[in-house]
Amino acid sequence: MNAATTTSPRPRLSGKLLLLAAALTAAVGFLIWTGTQGATVYYHTVGEVRAMDSEAYYRLIRVNGIVADGSIQTSGDGNVISFDLQDDSGRLPVEYRGTPPDLFGYSAEDRYQEVIVEGQLEPSGAFRARSLIVKHGPEFEPREIPAQ
């Protein structure tokens, strides 16, 4: 018996099948990439927004900072809240329309909580926030509800 005749030939993959596998791999890779891009959250500091100058106008951006002590002002109807966002590089005036989060304006150890505002910087220098997120550490835990 000849050894070459006893082994079965390996099946060859057709070009169409390889092309389909490559397209499927590319599609899955693209979906994973776009899914993770949307999940990334990046925010700027007050100094970065000031350095952007006119490039920041009317762009949707997020800014991180601390509410400046004594800067919170509420309109007569309570629908507009103005405050200064600050970090080591300076201050940024912010105007927020809507109901603020419960922890907004809370200060611990004479220091306000860190916040992230999302909105647009206007040429006047005011930041018009459409959302306001209060950052907090593990010291804010839900209170325990007694069993009934």
Domain-wise residue ranges, the chain: 13-41, 44-134
Find the Cα–Cα–Cα–Cα dihedral 65, 102, 109, 62, rounded to 10°. -10
Q: What pLDDT, on the 0 to 100 scale, is given for residue 139? A: 59
Give residue-wise pLDDT tens across range 95-104: 999 888 877 7
- Give me the pLDDT at residue 133, please: 85
What's the Rg (C-alpha) of the chain? Answer: 27
| The predicted structure's pLDDT at residue 40 | 60
What pLDDT does residue 144 have?
A: 66
Residue 57 token pair: 């106008």
pLDDT for 103 equals 74
Q: Where are the beta strands (DSSP E) in the chain?
A: 44-45, 61-67, 73-74, 80-87, 90-97, 107-108, 111-112, 114-121, 127-134
In the predicted model, residues of the chain with pLDDT beneath 70 are: 1-13, 36-41, 106-111, 136-146, 148
Give the chain's largest Cα–Cα span: 101
∠ CA 87-93-94, nearest 5°, is 105
Q: Which pLDDT value is given to residue 110?
A: 57
Give the per-residue pLDDT at 82. 92
- 44-134: CATH topology is OB fold (Dihydrolipoamide Acetyltransferase, E2P) (2.40.50)
- What whole-number distance in Å separates Cα of residue 84 and Cα of residue 94? 6
pLDDT computed for residue 127 by the predictor: 92
